[in-house]
Amino acid sequence: MEDLLKAVADILRSSKNAVALTGAGISAESGIPTFRGKDGLWKKYRAEDLATPFAFQRNPKLVWEWYVWRMNIISKAKPNPAHIALAEMEKEGIIKAVITQNVDGLHFRAGSKNVIELHGNIWRIRCVNCNWKTVLSSPPTQIPPICEKCGGFMRPDVVWFYESLPREALNKAFKFAAQSDIMLIIGTSGVVQPAASLPLITKDHGGILVEINVADTPLTPVCHYSLKGKAGEILPRIYEYLKGKFE
Ligand code: OAD
Ligand code: ZN
């Protein structure tokens, strides 16, 4: 393992366009539940009831109750050593962008600047009627929240099943993926499109793929390096190897 960590640190050090692609697994050690796996949210809840535009139409209050529950967990959570190591690597000029499927905002809170949020952000809400947007600092007390402009229902500005991804974020992600000479794929099950195809774009353009995950995923066989373990333990060690050479 130490040899692998050193090898990845060496590639990162000589890279020009390192990017990270993150999923729910990077926030697991912050106490935020993931979606798949034995304790995953999709084991306990049906996405069709909670995370589709139809579910919101049918029962906006139920959908909001679930989001308020998640907002409460997220507001108590803190960035963990994995988020922090990525932010440090960005400060050092190594990581150029963090492409995330997470809506928890923990990358920003850890200090990452160039974060591309593919699935939106749980704290931003928008009106289903007039599209007015606002950012919350705590979970709403009245649900559904009401639009200040038109009186319509507000919804979380996140991507639900059957919805397309925000165009600007997606374009940026594809651009970074194509230019990237090394992509760190951290804590994602690699099954949700189009995020899961970003590593393939990097590989097609000659970039190196490094997976950091506690388990194998459909992406494992296409990765050049597979670092098996917790993101909060592996990323700080890679960063230590990187720093060792900087000092
Ligand atoms: P998943 O819940 O599908 O996958 C989490 C991954 O993290 C799994 O591969 C785990 O093995 C891994 N993992 C868990 N703990 C870890 C740790 N401490 N360190 C490293 N890896 C760990 O989450 P995503 O891949 O992010 O979409 O899911 C993708 C999308 O599916 C989500 O953004 C969400 C969901 O439906 C929407 O809501 C649109
Ligand atoms: Zn409105």
Return the pLDDT at 138: 95
Return the pLDDT at 245: 58
Question: Exactly one of 83, 119, 205, 224 is catalytic; which is it?
Answer: 119
What is the gyration radius of the CA atoms in the chain, in angstroms?
A: 18
* 119 is known as an active-site residue: yes
Residues forming CATH 3.40.50.1220 domain(s) in the chain: 1-32+79-119+165-247
For residue 61, the CA-to-ligand 2 centroid distance in Å is: 17
d(CA 149, CA 131): 10
d(CA 148, CA 132): 8
CATH topology of domain 1-32+79-119+165-247: Rossmann fold (3.40.50)
Residue located nearest, by CA, to atom 15 of ligand 1: 25
Question: In the chain, where does DSSP find H-type helix?
Answer: 2-14, 25-28, 41-44, 47-50, 53-58, 60-76, 81-91, 106-110, 167-179, 198-204, 231-246
Return the pLDDT at 44: 84
Q: Which residues line ligand 1 (CB under 6 A)?
A: 23-25, 28-29, 34-37, 40, 51, 101, 119, 159, 187-189, 192, 212-215, 217, 230-231
What is the atom index within ligand 1 of the atom nearest the CA of 23?
A: 26
Q: What's at 51, amino acid-wise?
A: A
Name the pTM for this structure.
0.96
Return the pLDDT at 244: 85
* Residues of the chain predicted below pLDDT 50: 247
Residues forming CATH 3.30.1600.10 domain(s) in the chain: 33-76+123-158
For residue 135, the SS3 value is strand
CB proximity list for 189: less than 8 A, separation 6 or greater? 23, 25, 35, 36, 37, 217, 218
For residue 242, the CA-to-ligand 1 centroid distance in Å is: 26
Task: Tell me which residue has tokens 């090394």.
Answer: 182
Pick the CATH number of 33-76+123-158 from 3.30.1600.10, 3.90.800.10, 3.30.360.10, 3.40.1360.10: 3.30.1600.10
Return the pLDDT at 247: 45
